[in-house]
Amino acid sequence: MSQPSTIPMTDPIHRPVHLCAKALDKAYQKGEHKIPVLRGVDVKIERAEFLSIVGQSGSGKSTLMHLLGLLDDPDVGEVWLDGNRIDNLPATTRDKLRNHVFGFVFQFYHLLPELTLLENVLTPLMIRYPAWEYWKRRSEFREMAKEITKQVGLDHRLKHKPSELSGGEMQRAAIARALIGDPSVLLADEPTGNLDSQSGGEIMNLLHKLNEEAKLTIIMVTHDDNIAQQAQRIVRLSEGRIQALNEAA
Amino acid sequence: MYKFLLANRYLRTRYIALASIISVTLGVATMIVVNSVMSGFSSQMKDRIHAILSDVMIETTSTDGTDDPRELMAKVEQLAGEYIEAMTPTVEIYGMISFDWAGQTVYRPITLIGIDPQGKNQVSPFASHMLSRNEIIEDGEVVRAPLRSMDEPLDWELTEEAKNVRKEWVEWEQFKEQYDHQYGETSSPQTPIAQDSGIQQAVAIESTDFPVLNDPFQTVSGTEQSETETNPAVPPAMPEFNDPFANQKPVKKHDPTAPLFGRVYLGAGLVSFPYKDKATGKTHVMYMVKPGQDVNLTTIKSGKPEPANFKATVTDIFKSGMSEYDSNLVYCNLEQLQLARGMLFSPDPAEPEKNLDWKNGAVTSLQIKLKNYNDAGEVVRQLRSGLEPGTYQVRTWEEKQGPLLEAVAMESAILNVLLFLIITVAGFGILAIFYMIVVEKTRDIGILKALGASSRGVMVIFISYGLALGVVGSSVGVILGLLFVRYINEIEKLLSLMTGRKVFDEAIYYFREIPTVVHPTTVIWVALGSIIIAVLASVMPARRAASLHPVQALRYE
């Protein structure tokens, strides 16, 4: 589901970049002061690229990821997806895009504590389909979820609640959840930030595998240079500006 | 789907919210119990009123009544005959009853109603309230089985028990008389001689047109007459009342214990009181007058402001359960009352008691039973327009008891409003707890939005959560309430046992058990109302949840 039907292609001849940000400005209001977070950020991401955004805390890397994933609106600037501007779409359309196009992975996993692992993984599909349609196709979806959890190595933990899983397992469950909706872009915010090095390594391997085998575009935010080095390309942010764009080693 | 799944999970994992719904549950249960008991009382009361009052009553404005009841009945038949199942004439007049009790004479103001018992029983189910047809229960134990079957036609016959009472009573009265005669003034203030002289005078003045039934003791006083000729229980021999054939008639030898021509049903409240037996601690009901004894009745004559006195034998005592009626009404045979008031024109002076027919006298009201009470409005309208205005008053029993019924309805309405306010207060509890839950779930809301859930979807989660809580709370409340109503008497007994005092005293309320009527519509409305309150209480927190910004929600710790 790389191309939602609501967004027509406008430029069929010239192949556009997959996702791009143009001159993004974002400031947060804190009391009376406006604190600028992003100042004119331009970034282009090609299809099936593995990009990491690095920077110190407060450099605006998470904000950039949120703007790219339509979780937040830029003050100035535009976000384009496959040649279509998407940041100014109505809220419900953006909700749909988040569900169809983007998959999110967070530092603190952000699984819903009331649901089992399987139900957590199925949540994007429950959101996507109306209740009756979901109910009709529930066994099909269940199979999909089992397949994906198998890929991330969690098929023996389906009935467990998040509180019964280890950090690495929770992060793999979060990745499975991000993948089930068949997104074209995976946005990962410090996916290894809360894990020991072994679990972190497993997660990175998984991301690499997805990027190479499933041709998934991955944008990873991290403050850890060692992790960032594993991406194809690194964008370094400092005080809201892009400092350097360089190919990973 | 995620909305219902999450609402369901929140319902099952957030026990604090279930605590908030307990107030709704209790409110619903209380409302169901209170409504059931109140409508139970109210319908019992209506039944009792209806046992005394017929569907529709036509009453003459004057207490003298209408001279030709047959004409009136024919007219009513003509006006609204198609709706009428039965009707019976009555004479209704205020009066006074007096009887001896513990050496004193007791006087009570009454409403005296002359009836034809079977006719009366046809228009209102009256027989079932007679003491002789019911078992007597004291402190939950049956102390006397019914003396008569419920199905026996209502008449003026005495039961065997009443006959025995009468026998003993007559003997006692005769003994008293002899004692009084031997030893002069008695301890009883009511000496037959003093009483007789007054009545005899009144009778002597007014007894020219028609026979007046009189007290046997009035004619038989002293010991001039032998024991066999003493006739204390039968109306006097007619010669005293200008019977032309009196001298030719042989003097009948009457059974002294035979009942009088005048018969009455007394309201239980007039002649009874509860008392506590100090030895056993149990409450009994003391009857000052028992069926079989005679009582004195006083009312006014028709057409003149003069008293009319007569004696009558008590046939039965009735207990409708409405103290207003039980302590006020005395039913008398219609002919006797017509006779005493000078409203009856006897065709045969020779044997007046045998040929008396109320149709030859005047009546003051007609009691009507309808085939279908829903037609009452139409019948009343037709009768009002058809009968001479000013002469007759036409009313349904509800109109006659309007203020009482309205008061009950008002009481019930106020109680419902108050109880519903309690549920509303519980609604604010839900609101507060929902706000807490929304705050607690802020990050989850952020996650859902990141995964593509719309604001509306998030709102639906919390509103369905509120709906689920409301449904659970009010269902449990309905079940609790209905169970309480079902076992209310057992609960009452348990409470009585635990506290050692009667919670529901049947002697006070006239009920053996707490009456309850469950109206399904009321239950549905109460349940729906509380569900709506729970949903409304969840709207504001749900809107707050929906308006949360995903990034801020995700950052929320």
Measured CA distances, B415 to A39, A101, B312, B419 (Å): 66, 58, 47, 6
The whole-angstrom distance between A207's CA and the closest CA on chain B is 19
The H or E element spanning position A169 is helix A167-180
Report pLDDT for B531: 92
Q: Beginning with the edge strand found earlier in the chain, give each strand of the sheet holding A102-105 in spatial order.
A: A102-105, A185-189, A217-222, A50-54, A233-238, A241-247
Computed over every residue of chain B, the mean pLDDT equals: 80
The whole-angstrom distance between B543's CA and the closest CA on chain A is 16
A39-51 CB burial, b ≥16 within 10 A, e <16: bebebebebebbb
Report pLDDT for B485: 92
Query: pLDDT tens, B271-296?
Result: 888 888 888 777 778 888 888 888 89
Rounded to whole angstroms, the Cα distance separating B362 from B412 reads 43
Q: Which residues contact A212 (CB under 8 A, 6 or more apart)?
A: none
Residue B247: pLDDT over 60: no
Confirm or reject contact between B556 and chain A (CB < 8 A). no
Cβ contact, residue pair A114, B451, below 8 Å: no
- Which residue in chain A has the smallest CA separation from B4? A131
Report pLDDT for B185: 54
Report pLDDT for B139: 67
Higher pLDDT, B380 or B218: B380
Give the confidence band of B206 by pLDDT, cuts at 50, 70, 90.
very low
Mean pLDDT of B346-364: 70
Mean pLDDT of B357-361: 74
Quick check: B231 and B311 in contact, CB under 8 A? Answer: no
Cβ contact, residue pair A91, B455, below 8 Å: yes
Q: Which residues contact B149 (CB under 8 A, 6 or more apart)?
A: B133
Cβ contact, residue pair B454, A95, below 8 Å: yes
Cβ contact, residue pair B2, A127, below 8 Å: yes
Q: Which of A101-115, B171-185, B297-311, B516-530 has the lowest mean pLDDT?
A: B171-185
Give the confidence band of B352 by pLDDT, cuts at 50, 70, 90.
low
Rounded to whole angstroms, the Cα distance separating B437 from B433 reads 6
Cβ contact, residue pair B447, A112, below 8 Å: yes
Tell me the torsion sign for CA atoms B331, B337, B338, B342: negative
Confirm or reject contact between B459 and chain A (CB < 8 A). no
Nearest to A112 among B1, B444, B549 (CB): B444
The identity of residue B308, as a single letter, is A
Cβ contact, residue pair B554, A135, below 8 Å: no
Write down the pTM of the prediction: 0.69
Mean pLDDT of B480-505: 86
Nearest to B551 among A71, A110, A123 (CB): A71
Quote the longest CA-to-CA distance of chain A: 53
Query: pLDDT tens, B40-72?
Result: 888 888 888 877 888 888 888 888 888 788 888
Write out chain A's pLDDT in tens, 249 residues. Answer: 444 444 344 444 444 568 888 888 888 888 888 888 888 888 888 888 888 998 888 888 888 889 988 888 889 888 888 888 888 888 889 898 888 889 988 888 889 988 899 999 999 999 988 889 989 998 999 999 998 888 888 888 888 999 998 888 898 899 899 888 888 899 998 888 888 888 888 888 888 888 888 888 899 998 888 888 888 888 888 888 888 666 544
The whole-angstrom distance between B2's CA and the closest CA on chain A is 5
| Cα dihedral: B122, B125, B128, B130 (round 10) | -80
Rounded to whole angstroms, the Cα distance separating B335 from B113 reads 11
Mapping DSSP onto H, E and C, the string for B326-354 reads: HCCEEEEEHHHHHHHCCCECCCCCCCHHH
The separation between CA A47 and the C-alpha centre of its own chain, rounded to angstroms, equals: 14
* Residues in A touching B437 (Cβ below 8 Å): none
Report pLDDT for B507: 60
Quick check: A38 and A60 in contact, CB under 8 A? Answer: yes
- For residue B545, the SS3 value is helix
Q: β-pairing, B104-115 with B329-333?
A: parallel
Confirm or reject contact between B447 and chain A (CB < 8 A). yes
- Which residue in chain A has the smallest CA separation from B9? A114
Report pLDDT for B191: 45
Topology of the domain covering A48-71+90-247: Rossmann fold (3.40.50)
Query: Which of B5, B437, B451 is the best mutation test for A, with the most CBs of A within 10 A?
Result: B451
Chain A to chain B, count of Cβ pairs less than 8 Å apart? 72
Report pLDDT for B184: 67
Quick check: B321 and B44 in contact, CB under 8 A? Answer: yes
- Which residue in chain A has the smallest CA separation from B11? A114
Report pLDDT for B459: 92
Rounded to whole angstroms, the Cα distance separating A147 from B409 reads 66
Query: pLDDT tens, B107-119?
Result: 999 999 888 888 8
Residue B220: pLDDT over 50: no
Higher pLDDT, B127 or B240: B127
* Residues in A touching B468 (Cβ below 8 Å): none
Give the confidence band of B29 by pLDDT, cuts at 50, 70, 90.
very high
Quick check: B293 and B99 in contact, CB under 8 A? Answer: yes
CB < 8 Å from B in window 198-237 of A: none
Q: β-pairing, B283-287 with B136-138?
A: unpaired
Q: Which of A72-81, B246-255, B356-365, B505-514 has the lowest mean pLDDT?
A: B246-255
Quick check: B538 and B431 in contact, CB under 8 A? Answer: yes
Query: pLDDT tens, A202-211?
Result: 888 888 888 8
Nearest to B451 among A113, A123, A135 (CB): A123
Query: Which of A68, A104, A185 is the best mutation test for B, with the most CBs of B within 10 A?
Result: A104
The whole-angstrom distance between A13's CA and the closest CA on chain B is 31
Q: β-pairing, A217-222 with A50-54?
A: parallel
Report pLDDT for A47: 85
Give the confidence band of B374 by pLDDT, cuts at 50, 70, 90.
confident
* Residues in A touching B2 (Cβ below 8 Å): 123, 126-127
CB < 8 Å from B in window 93-152 of A: 95-100, 104, 106, 110-115, 119, 123-124, 126-131, 134-135
* Residues in B touching A123 (Cβ below 8 Å): 2, 448, 451
Count how many Cα atoms sit within 13 Å of the Cα of residue B471 in the half-sphere of its side chain: 9
Percent of chain B surpassing pLDDT 70: 83
Quote the longest CA-to-CA distance of chain B: 122
Q: β-pairing, B272-276 with B283-287?
A: antiparallel
DSSP B263-278: EEEEEHHHHEEEEE-T
